[in-house]
Amino acid sequence: MLKSNKLFAVLTALVVASLLLAACGAPTAAPAVAPATQAPAATLAPAAKAPAATSAPAATPVPATAAPAAPTLAPTAMPDLKGGTVTIGIANEPQTLDPGAAVMVQEQMILLNLFDSLLATAPDGTLHPGLALSWSANAAATEFTFKLRPDVKFHDGTPFNGAAVKASFDHVLDPAIKDSGARSLLVDHKYKETVVTDDSDVTIKFDSAYPTFLHDAARQWLSISSPTALTKSGKDYGRNPVGTGPFRFVKWDAQSQIVVERNPDYAWGPEYATHKGAAYLDQVVFRILPEAATRLTALQTGELQIAADPTALDAIDLNKSGKAVLETFAQPGVPAMMMLNTAKAPTDDVAVRKAMILSVNQDELAKTAFKDLGIPTYSVISPTTWGFNKDAAATYKFNLDAAGKLLDDDGWKMGADGIRVKDGKKLTIDYITSPTWEEAFNELLSGYLKKAGFDVNMRAMDDNAIGTEAAAGHYNMLYIYWTRADPSPLRNLFDSANIKDGSAYTRFVNADLDKTLADASTATDDKVRLQDYMTAQKMIMDNALVLPLFTVNMLYLDLPSVKNFEFDLEGYPWFYDMTLAK
């Protein structure tokens, strides 16, 4: 009797424990700022390339640039700026620190500080020498030749040379890396080979035109790893990264923290940095704190110097109180928006889609959901992105009456319950969303649609389930955003070739749009690319394929003692110039 009781007790305890664990699972599940989505690449807001708003894109083959004089040892670094440890609280743990295998936002932030790339992109989007002193490309944009710096050493002492470049590029296509940002760049553009002419000259070849390669080559995904470490660590390289960057990897305590320290030999910082030589900070600790409230508390107690992704309200309060400084960065690329499924009723009807856009008040939504930090957005490309088309953004302006009229004319008659009906069918919008995504925001959005006579059927599920439903086309609208300094994600999101197995969630098939987007991503003339992207934006808005919402503002709170907080061109904090007041 007693024995069976025990058995029962143990099994019950086990089941209860798993249920408890399951119950506890939900709240920590997702990132604070980048909520639900599906498209893996898009959700994770992958890195970009290309220039930002201010400068003209230099996507075309760039003539060899004059090499800047190699900086001598830290002449400007004043001794009193040196020292200190900055601890930054981040929401999500990286999965890998192997640039070739990385995808996630939180990975890029750390990689940016550990690694250098062949080129470097200034925050204004201009290209500068990185590990390469000069570069050139052939007219077809398939071959890129780089003259490498002779004086660079990896953190493990391995000298940087052409072989290291080849090893890093070839490593991306290692079959062990199943899916990564770098891999999709190289596979999509048919990477052929890296030819090492000698220690300081390499040519990287592709089988298809890759006009934006120089910009991608300046980003974290294609940064250069130590060939010695790649061989030595093998499968474990993602946990033992070795680069040439201003900080070197110290340790990674699972779930807890990643520690990096100053690389004292660093003498090859980019020319747009405010100083030369080694970084000022002794150490940077990336503390993994999934709860926004925990990060905020730790910032107030001084355990953190920087807290990533605070809630808008906390950010404003703390900034006002003077206890912390709010750093904001409006993400370029595809803003937060709803992809409207043109292959499923009722959003297969363009009038319905237009009415949806007209019934949402973006100004009010951004203000209400994100206080003063929301940036209302009216197009498929955010306003700070190169190639932003003002005309496309002016296609629709919130107008409930106009939305009602469109629906009336289309045969959707208002029912007694406030929901429109046509041919006995209700105007129901199937919306799959994550339970961790701000409820208030979802309620607000459905509220607008309801006013126009829509019935929003919100189905909350986890990201994986969203992925499955999205792939199957079981939705009318789907939330998405994609950080990138140029409009190139438009091809991933709207080229009908990407409906199957890809991210073209509007499922819109139009040969003209496909052709324009294909042309935009392969044209070697910037003027042509710009015109293509302008045209594509207008086509997308005219067909009401998306319901634009707001531009994601990346938020960081830092203590007043943190000086020289800098963002790179995609909004990742760059610690090279940062100092800590003593």
Partner 1 sequence: MLTYLIRRILTSILVLFGVSMLVFSIIHLVPGDAATAILGRQKVTAENLARIRQELGLNDPIPVQYFHWMEKTLQGDMGTSIRNNLPVTRAIMDTLPSTIMLAFSALILALILGFVLGLVAALNHGTWIDTLAMGVSVSGLSIPTFWLGLLLIMLFSVNLGWFPSISTGSDAAALFLPTLTLGLPEASFVARMVRASMLDVLSKEYITAARAKGVPEWGVIMKHALRNALIPVVTFVGLQMASLLGGSTIVETMFARQGIGRLAVLAISNRDYPEVQGVVLVIATIYVLINTFTDITYTILNPKIRL
> What residues make contact with partner 1 under the rule CB under 8 A?
2-3, 6-7, 10-11, 13-15, 17-18, 20-22, 24-26, 28-30, 40-41, 44, 89, 93, 95-96, 103, 178-179, 235, 238-239, 253-257, 287-291, 294, 297-298, 300-304, 462, 464-465, 467-468, 471, 501-502
Q: Shortest approach of partner 1 to residue 505 CB, angstroms?
A: 13
For residue 166, how far is the Cα from the chain centroid?
A: 26
Task: Tell me the chain's radius of gyration from C-alpha atoms.
Answer: 25
Q: What is the DSSP code (8-state) at residue 71?
A: P
Count CB atoms within 10 A of the CB of residue 320.
10
Q: Shortest approach of partner 1 to residue 508 CB, angstroms?
A: 20
Q: Which is nearer to partner 1, 22 or 69 (CB)?
A: 22
Q: Which is nearer to partner 1, 19 or 139 (CB)?
A: 19
Distance CA 333, CA 570 (A): 9
8 A C-beta contact, residue 359 and residue 400: yes
Q: Which residues of 421-451 are buried (b: 16+ CB within 10 A; e: fewer)?
A: bbeeebbebbbbbbbbbbeebbebbbebbee
Distance CA 546, CA 581 (A): 46
Q: Which is nearer to partner 1, 26 or 139 (CB)?
A: 26
Distance CA 56, CA 366 (A): 29
8 A C-beta contact, residue 262 and residue 247: yes
Q: Which residues of 4-42 are buried (b: 16+ CB within 10 A; e: fewer)?
A: eeeeeeeeeeeeeeeeeeeeeeeeeebbbbbbbbbbebb
Q: Which is nearer to partner 1, 72 or 301 (CB)?
A: 301
Q: Which is nearer to partner 1, 179 or 512 (CB)?
A: 179
Q: Shortest approach of partner 1 to residue 464 CB, angstroms?
A: 5
8 A C-beta contact, residue 169 and residue 187: no
Q: Shortest approach of partner 1 to residue 3 CB, angstroms?
A: 6
Q: Shortest approach of partner 1 to residue 451 CB, angstroms?
A: 35
Single-letter code of the amino acid located at 106:
Q
Beta bridge partners of 90: 288
Q: Which is nearer to partner 1, 28 or 208 (CB)?
A: 28
310: tokens are: 């605070």
Q: Which is nearer to partner 1, 26 or 64 (CB)?
A: 26
134 three-class SS: strand
418: left (phi over 0), alpha (psi -120 to 50) or beta: left
Q: Shortest approach of partner 1 to residue 19 CB, angstroms?
A: 11
Q: Which is nearer to partner 1, 94 or 277 (CB)?
A: 94
Q: Which is nearer to partner 1, 291 or 348 (CB)?
A: 291
| CB burial of residue 400 (10 Å; 0-12, 13-18, 19+) | middle
Q: What is the DSSP code (8-state) at residue 56?
A: -
Distance CA 380, CA 511 (A): 19
Distance CA 72, CA 80 (A): 20
Q: Shortest approach of partner 1 to residue 164 CB, angstroms?
A: 24
The total number of residues shown for the chain amounts to 582
477: tokens are: 């609208």
Q: Which is nearer to partner 1, 2 or 511 (CB)?
A: 2
Q: Shortest approach of partner 1 to residue 497 CB, angstroms?
A: 13
Count CB atoms within 10 A of the CB of residue 344.
15
Q: Shortest approach of partner 1 to residue 306 CB, angstroms?
A: 14
88 three-class SS: strand
Q: Which is nearer to partner 1, 228 or 300 (CB)?
A: 300
Q: Shortest approach of partner 1 to residue 485 CB, angstroms?
A: 22
Q: Shortest approach of partner 1 to residue 500 CB, angstroms?
A: 8
Distance CA 179, CA 191 (A): 15
Q: Which is nearer to partner 1, 290 or 376 (CB)?
A: 290
